[in-house]
Amino acid sequence: MSDYLVHIAIVLSMVFISACSQLLLKKAAQITWKNRLAEYLNWRVILAYFFFGIAAVVNFLMLRYLPLSLFPILESAAFIFIPVLSLFFLKEKLRLSQYLGIVLIIVGIVVFNL
C-alpha cells in the first residue's frame, strides 16, 4: 500500500475517532447530573475531548503529507460514521433521506479520489 493511501486511512481513522467522541458526548448529555461540575468532569466528557485532541493533532500532522483540498472530502466521512454509530449504539432511527445521503457521500469520496 502506498504512503498516500496509508495517510488517507489515518485521516479516516481520526474522523472515526472524532465520531466516537461525539457519541460519548451524546451519552453524557443524556445523563442527569447532580451539578454542573459533575456534568463536565465525568469520564465520558473527558475521554471524548481527549479523543478529539488526539484526532486534531494527528490530522495536523497529516497535513504535511496530503493536499489540503482532500481534507474536507475525507472529513465528510463523519456524516457516514455518526449516523451509523447512532443507529447501533443509541438505537436512533435513520430516515430514507439519511440513507440516500450516506450513499451520495460515499460516491462523492470515491469519485474525488479517482
Q: What is the 3-state secondary structure (H, E, C) of the chain?
A: CCHHHHHHHHHHHHHHHHHHHHHHHHHHHCCCCCCHHHHHCCHHHHHHHHHHHHHHHHHHHHCCCCCHHHHHHHHCCHHHHHHHHHHHHCCCCCCHHHHHHHHHHHHHHHHHCC
pLDDT at 85: 94
Contact status, residue 85 vs residue 19, Cβ threshold 8 Å:
yes
pLDDT at 59: 94
Cα radius of gyration rounded to whole Å, the chain? 16
pLDDT at 110: 86
pTM of the model: 0.88
pLDDT at 25: 95
pLDDT at 24: 95
Segments in the chain below pLDDT 50 = none
pLDDT at 112: 81
**Percentage with pLDDT > 90 across the chain:** 81
pLDDT at 92: 93
